[in-house]
Amino acid sequence: MKEYASDKIRNIAVLSHDGAGKTAVVESLLLASGAVTAVGVGKDNKHIMDFEPEEIKRNVTIQLGIAPCEWDGFKLNFLDTPGYSEFCGEVRAALRACDGILLVVSAEAGIEMDTERAWDYGVELQLPRMIYVNKMDTEHADFFGSLEKMRAVFGKSIMPLQIPIGEGADFRGIIDVCKMIAWEWTSGNIEEIKVPPQYMSKAREVREMCMEAAAEGDDELLEKYLNGDELTLEELRFGLHQGMLTGRVCPVMCGSATRHIGTTELLNRLVRYMPDASQKVMMGTDTKSGDPVMVYPNKPFTGFVFKTLIDPFSGKLSYIRIFSGELKEGDKILNVTQNKEEKLGKIFTLVGKEQVPVEKATAGDIVVLPKLNTAKTGDTFATPEFPVVYEAIRFPNPLHTVALVPAKKGEEEKLTNALLRISEE
């Protein structure tokens, strides 16, 4: 995979309540972008992102996974997270590495407990949010009902950029209210069509909402809107983008991940509206002086280990978000947290469990570094000349504790080593 400049990178954590189809959405996005050629369907246990034995056995996501794809000259790093609240520590880890949140909502179930939890995470961390209403082809799908509930719970920032053509078994396409065009899916083929007459009134109503939201954050656009002039497509997109970055607007898309309806358009909007990685400025601590320091992407290398995985074949894998500088094979870097130096071997990224080599990575990117002896989740790495440390992840407190006793006498050491490996993750 080639190197991308920071402003061409989008880091997106995908969150939802369990069962909303977030993993299916991620895999559909990978398929649409050409990053993979096939994906799992339903409970066939062939999902790219769910590859651990327990995930395959239970057909659920239980750990954070990463998956990059390339689209229209941009790189999108998706962080697929568990939906069950028992694994919310994995969600917390993903939020330290991302710049925006894609919140997946089931068109059947609507807002659920962990949907609200995910939204609250975004508010707490001031992360821009976009919503994808999935499962529009299911029996009890209700887009506008879900939309109404979202606006009631999350506020008026909820702003649909699309509306569906049909619902349930009749779902066959989407309408882009910004461009006022539609796409219809028939027999696996997509066709651009005019907005069907029976949807024209609703599409215009929603477009008017979008124009008002776009105008509110910019004096020139607001003056134009209040004078009764219609915003151009470019002005509309600009206003919505600015609104999303400030949290004033949360764009809403819709589709069906299992039928791959709407995922191409979702990719386009993730590129257009999600913040680029060059805008990320971190607050760290200079370990020499103890003073706080602002770390911009053009500073020397710093990176943060947001996840550790002990792979039975590859050994320890450290997932790192690069916040500044660049990284290449053979570099000597300092584990600032442990005050120990390491020399880099290979650098790669992952699509599920498949390793994709990376020659060099720059600020804003997410990569995996194998076999770093000292690395633990929450550690900061940097060039020795720029020893900055970042705050560790605030994981949730344990709900209960248990005592482990070896099944046989004399196996205490084996149990201790196993627990030490688990603690590294």
139 close to 146: Cβ distance less than 8 angstroms? no
Residue 370 has which token pair? Answer: 């194998």
Bridge partner residues of 105 (DSSP): 133
Place of tokens 């690069």: 322
Rounded distance between C-alpha atoms, residue 212 and residue 240, angstroms: 10
Residue 32 has which token pair? Answer: 């649409």
Ordered by where they begin, the domains of the chain are: 6-279 (3.40.50.300), 282-390 (2.40.30.10)
Rounded distance between C-alpha atoms, residue 60 and residue 390, angstroms: 32
- Name the DSSP letter for residue 386: S
- With 0-12 / 13-18 / 19 or more C-beta atoms within 10 angstroms meaning exposed / middle / buried, residue 28 is buried
Rounded distance between C-alpha atoms, residue 46 and residue 35, angstroms: 16
pTM of the model: 0.94
Rounded distance between C-alpha atoms, residue 118 and residue 185, angstroms: 31
Alpha helices (runs of H) in 248-371, residue ranges in sequence order: 263-273
Query: Is the predicted pLDDT of residue 425 greater than 80, yes or no?
Result: no
Helix (H) or strand (E) holding 60: none
Average per-residue pLDDT for the chain: 93
142 close to 232: Cβ distance less than 8 angstroms? no
What are the tens digits of pLDDT across the range 96-138?
999 999 999 999 999 999 999 999 999 999 999 999 999 999 9
- In this prediction, residue 59 has a pLDDT band, given cuts at 50, 70 and 90, of confident
- In this prediction, residue 44 has a pLDDT band, given cuts at 50, 70 and 90, of low
What are the tens digits of pLDDT across the range 327-359?
999 999 999 999 999 999 999 999 988 999 999
Q: Concatenated DSSP letters for 155-175?
A: -TTEEESEEEES-GGG--EEE
Query: Is the predicted pLDDT of residue 45 greater than 70, yes or no?
Result: no
Strands 9-16 and 74-80: parallel
Average pLDDT over every residue of 44-55: 73
What are the tens digits of pLDDT across the range 258-277?
999 999 999 999 999 999 99
Rounded distance between C-alpha atoms, residue 92 and residue 90, angstroms: 5
Rounded distance between C-alpha atoms, residue 145 and residue 395, angstroms: 34
86 close to 396: Cβ distance less than 8 angstroms? no
Residue 420 has which token pair? Answer: 């030490």
Q: Which residues contact 7 (CB under 8 A, 6 or more apart)?
A: 276, 277, 278
What are the tens digits of pLDDT across the range 399-414?
778 888 888 888 888 8
Average pLDDT over every residue of 4-22: 95
What is the residue type of 15?
L
Q: Concatenated DSSP letters for 111-136?
A: S-HHHHHHHHHHHHHT--EEEEEE-T
157 close to 247: Cβ distance less than 8 angstroms? yes
Residue 399 has which token pair? Answer: 């709900």
Q: What angle do CA 352, 33, 122 make, to 5 degrees?
A: 65
What is the residue type of 397?
N
Helices then strands, counting H and E runs in the chain, come out as 10, 24
Helix %, strand %, coil % of the chain (to 5): 30, 30, 40
What are the tens digits of pLDDT across the range 276-327?
999 999 999 999 999 999 999 999 999 999 999 988 878 899 999 999 999 9
What is the residue type of 239?
G
131 close to 253: Cβ distance less than 8 angstroms? yes
Place of tokens 């053509």: 165
What are the tens digits of pLDDT across the range 198-242?
999 999 999 999 999 999 989 999 999 999 999 999 999 999 999
